[in-house]
Structures are given as C-alpha cells and as structure tokens.
Amino acid sequence: MLTKYGMNQWLPAAVVVLPIAGACAWLAQIGEPIWWIPAVGLCVIWLGFAAFFRDPVRRPESDDPQAFVSPADGTISAVIRVGHHEATNGPALIIRIFLSVLDVHINRAAQAATVVKIRHEPGRYLDARMAAGARVNENLLLTLRLPDGRNYGIRQISGAIARRIVCRVKVEEHLLRGQRYGMIQFGSTTELILPQPEQVTALVSEGARVYAGRTCLARLNSIDSTK
C-alpha cells in the first residue's frame, strides 16, 4: 500500500513513467526485443521511487496501555534527558530515531492523545545523522495531551535529503495509538518526547532497530501508580 501523504509525488510519476514502459513493452512484443531494456528499467525506477511511500499495516507488539509505540521506523540514535522541553513544559525524556532513505517514512502517534499545539520552525538542512541537525534543522513539533492531563511530543526533523515535512492533523484532533498522521520525505529524524522522565521506563537503547506503530519505546507510569 502507498501512502496518501505522497500521492502528489508517486501518482504523477506513475502516470508518466508506466505508460512509457508499457509502450516499450509493446514494441518489444511486436519484434524489437531490445525495447524490453527500457521497459524493465523504467518499471524498476518507478518501483524504487514508490518504495519511499510504502505504508505497511502495523500492530503494537504489546497490549500494555501505558506503553508508547515508536512514531517512526529507523534506528535509535539517542536516548537523553533534558531539564526542560516545550512539549512537556518541564523535564523530559527524548528518544531520537534516525530514518535512512530506505526506511518507511510514515509517522504515527505514539499513544492515544489529543493534539493541543502544532509548531513549525524553519531551519537548516544538515545531514540527519549529525547531532547538530536535531537542533538547527527545519522541524515540526506536535504536542499531544494524554487522558491524565500530561503532555508528550513528537518532533519531525528534516535532513539533507528530506526537505518536506507532512503533518495532516489539526489542534483538538484526537489520535489513537499507532494512528498515521504524516511523514517526512525522504531521510530524516523523529523524536518522541516524554514527560516526567523519573517516571518513564525506556524500553530501547541507542542502536536499536524500531518500527512505527509496532515497537514499544517506553512505558510511562500512570499518575495513580506514582502516588
């Protein structure tokens, strides 16, 4: 399945490339076998391009209602604690995920919550593998409110190749855990920002491979359990 978030890219490419490939295949059928080369080549090129927009079905690996699933496919590049973050309005645990150009680029909600703020910040386009890129690159921060009143955030960060951040939600919209809400085209970084880091159990470490909507990244204790 191809994502609707990339339809403006993969559909025009299909309309242009596939008919040409079909015409080449027809010429090959009527007696010019050499036309199979461009026919196959064009199909391979389009399939490679379309793969950037693939959108697999995902299910969480755990039924734990307090577990936060990964908002992106990729590799954990950092697990850090900060004294203050805009999304949580206080201390936070940040789990940073690097997406290569070969990863699925769909972003998903990490936990069921309501969107309370969307903040886009222009910036640079450094290589997403560089730590500085998380600080200075163009990014979009989604702040979401959990049923218990605490906030968490998901930040989409552009890279040297990724130059387009897509976020198709509005303030006051409710998202389910694992629900698709946007993507970054093409390689990039995504951060999960969790509140009250002393009450968070990180379930992954740097270098771990994770999958959006499936891999559980952390568990946030309920307010009742912290009393």
Going from the C-alpha of 104 to that of each of 58, 73, 142, 188, the distances in angstroms are: 12, 6, 20, 11
The active-site residue, picked from 70, 77, 158, 188, is 188
The structure tokens listed for 148 are: 């218990």
Rounded to the nearest angstrom, the gap between the alpha carbon of residue 35 and the centroid of all alpha carbons in its chain is 39
Say whether 62 is catalytic. Answer: no
The structure tokens listed for 113 are: 């919550």
How many other C-beta atoms lie within 10 A of the C-beta of residue 26?
12
Question: Burial code of 181-196, b = ≥16 C-beta within 10 A, e = fewer?
Answer: bbbbbbbbbbbbbbbb
Rounded to the nearest angstrom, the gap between the alpha carbon of residue 31 and the centroid of all alpha carbons in its chain is 47
Catalytic positions: 188
